[in-house]
Structure 1
Amino acid sequence: MDWFREHAWETWLGVAVLLGVAEMFSLDLVLIMLAAGAVVGMLAAMLDLHVGIQVVAAAATSMAALLLLRPSLVGRLHGGPELRLGHTRLVGKQALVTEDITGTLVGRIRLDGEIWSALPYDDTLTIPAGATVEVLEIRGATALVHPIAQLEP
């Protein structure tokens, strides 16, 4: 026990380093929170506080980090924006009708700077040129669209 009292901060530092290295293999952000507690224990040892206080400070810091810090870090690291690639990124966007669209006549729309062939999502609709539509689905190279209601001035 005398050796530990004389080398307490070095012991805490060794524990923190070992936990930090182990975290690199687990990548679960649990061991790094325990390492943060060990660093606080090391600081308490450097202030020459009693061993019981060092342990309580390390445990309190570890628990606080696990309960308060880890959930938000895990959410940021494991979450992210949904990647929508290809034509699926166009679903939900608005487009301008450049040629009339009917249930039997394929028309054209300007969508995201490109001209696409388009059909109405509801076969009974006729959408005139100049109308604004929303893309509901893409089938092959044809967009299925629905008109957006416009308020008259």
Structure 2
Amino acid sequence: MDWLTDNWWLFWLGVALVLGAIEVATVDFVFLMFAGGAVAGAVAAGVGAPVPLQVVIAVAVALLLLVVVRPMIKRQFTDGEVDHHIGPSGLVGREARVLQAVTDTDGRVKLAGETWSARLAEGTTPVGPGEEVRVIAIHGATAVVEPVHHDPST
């Protein structure tokens, strides 16, 4: 036990490593903030602070990191407002060729090299095979489309 009383900084670093390993499994940035507090406790122990002060410093730094730093990190890594135009959302605005007549309830289109179920947007007229349509939304596995009216002068 004499070893522990002489090496509190090593204890705190061990705690920080364990908390860091837990963070890797959870990826919620909570245990990372606790690990930061443990590192602060190790620094306090390294400069010779008494154990109660080390605990206070570790807890204070961990809480400060949780309140100030964690929200900023979460915002950076969980940016849900930005649509990166990958997956189905990347197909919105593209043109497709009608394979089977598209009505307000059913139809098939060739979109990005794949056959998709399709239906017309409200207020549009049915579109026959061979015609072109533009995707205005994707609902599940169904493309919501509208006819493309090409300008005859082009």
Question: Shorter-chain TM-score: what band?
Answer: 0.5 to 0.7
One-letter amino acid matched to 1:14: G
One-letter amino acid matched to 2:79: G
Aligned to 2:140: none
1:34 Cα shift? 0.1
Q: Secondary structure, in 3 states, of the residue corresponding to 1:48?
A: coil
One-letter amino acid matched to 2:78: H
1:78 to 1:48, Cα distance in 2 relative to 1, 3 A:
same
| In structure 2, distance between residues paired with 1:3 and 1:29 | 32
Which runs of 5 or more residues in structure 2 are unaligned? 95-122, 125-133, 138-143, 150-154
Aligned to 1:40: 40
1:4 Cα shift? 2.9
Structure 1 segment 19-34 matched on structure 2, within 5 A: 19-34=19-34
The TM-score, its normalising length taken from structure 2, stands at 0.57
1:3 Cα shift? 3.7
Q: Secondary structure, in 3 states, of the residue corresponding to 2:28?
A: coil
2:75 counterpart of 1:70:
no
2:90 counterpart of 1:85:
yes
Aligned to 1:115: none
| In structure 2, distance between residues paired with 1:79 and 1:141 | 31
Percent identity among equivalent residues? 32
> Cα RMSD (Å) of the superposition?
2.9
Instruction: Tell me the matched-pair count.
Output: 102
One-letter amino acid matched to 1:142: P
Q: Deviations over 1:7-42 (max 9, x none)?
A: 100000000000001111111110010000000000
| In structure 2, distance between residues paired with 1:85 and 1:4 | 58
Q: Deviations over 1:103-131 (max 9, x none)?
A: xxxxxxxxxxxxxxxxxxx99xxxxxxxx
2:50 counterpart of 1:50:
yes
2:22 counterpart of 1:17:
no
Q: Deviations over 1:74-124 (max 9, x none)?
A: 1211124213311x2x49xxxxxxxxxxxxxxxxxxxxxxxxxxxxxx99x
Aligned to 2:102: none
Q: Which of structure 1's runs of 4+ aligned residues deviate more than 4 A?
A: none
One-letter amino acid matched to 1:32: L
One-letter amino acid matched to 1:67: V
| In structure 1, distance between residues paired with 2:16 and 2:148 | 57
The TM-score, its normalising length taken from structure 1, stands at 0.57
| In structure 2, distance between residues paired with 1:20 and 1:45 | 19
Which runs of 5 or more residues in structure 1 are unaligned? 92-121, 124-134, 145-153
Larger Rg: 1
Q: Secondary structure, in 3 states, of the residue corresponding to 1:79?
A: coil
Aligned to 2:145: 140
